[in-house]
Copies of this chain bind each other. A is one copy, B any other.
Amino acid sequence: MEPERAWHEHHPDFDAEFRARLHMLLRWRRDVRQFRREALPEGTIERLIEIACLSPSVGLSEPWRFVLVRDPARRAAIHASFEQCNHEALEAQTPDRAALYARLKLAGLDDAPAQVSVFADRSTAQGKGLGRLTMPQTLDYSVAIAMHTLWLAARADGLGLGWVSILDPARMAEILEVPGDWAFIGHLCVGYPVEEHDTPVLQREGWERRRPPASSVLYR
């Protein structure tokens, strides 16, 4: 029994109160598109990235690469790419939905004080290929998951985060001059949110509603 007791003495136990707070964090995490312009304290993003690096990755490959975008010219180019992609998405809407789509604010690129573009280094030697021979896309999944960790850590700090996907991945790599093997996964806006909600903005705006979890479950 000794080894088991020693093990129990060292690993953390999470109690019901922590679980309740964790569920509250998950319920109140939102995709934020409206930010106050107030700057974040120096080093905030680096601290969040450190936490994000605790995320799981296929074969311990840690393929996440974070690009902190500060240069106004690059930010403007990203904004322009978003505007163009969003215009094309609007054109692709059915007539009955176009007016609502046009009203939605889908990115906080204008106001967010911090912006982080996240890439997957698909050529990383780290992990020595373990776990990804049949599913190389698990590298990209690992990066998406690290972005989610950063999101939760930001929200626990009272910060909002918005994930912008209405962008051209090739153009993002070009604007940010990243190595050729890096694949764009998403662009994050981070800052203090104007509002906080426990309901997704797309539900509040009447675009879509959540489905009951049981409708996504099969038994085999």
Which A residues contact B (CB, under 8 angstroms)? 7, 10-14, 18-19, 21-29, 31, 46, 49-56, 58-62, 64-71, 74, 85, 88-89, 92, 97, 101, 104, 106, 117, 126-135, 137-138, 140-141, 144-145, 147-149, 151-153, 155-158, 163, 165-169, 176-178, 185-186, 195-198, 200, 202-203, 207-211, 213-214, 216-220
9 further A-B pairs in the complex, CB-CB below 8 A; given A19-B156, A145-B145: A10-B196, A14-B156, A23-B51, A56-B163, A60-B208, A69-B220, A127-B202, A134-B167, A145-B147
A7: min CB distance to chain B, Å? 6
Q: How far is the CA of A207 from the CA of B58 in the complex (A)?
A: 13
Q: Which of A130, A153, A198, A207 has the most CB of B within 10 A?
A: A130
A30: min CB distance to chain B, Å? 8
Write out the residue numbers on chain B whose beta carbons fall within 8 Å of the beta carbon of A141: 140-141, 144, 185-186
Q: Is B217 a contact of A49 with CB atoms below 8 Å?
A: yes
Q: How far is the CA of A49 from the CA of B178 in the complex (A)?
A: 37
Q: Which of A12, A85, A157 has the most CB of B within 10 A?
A: A12
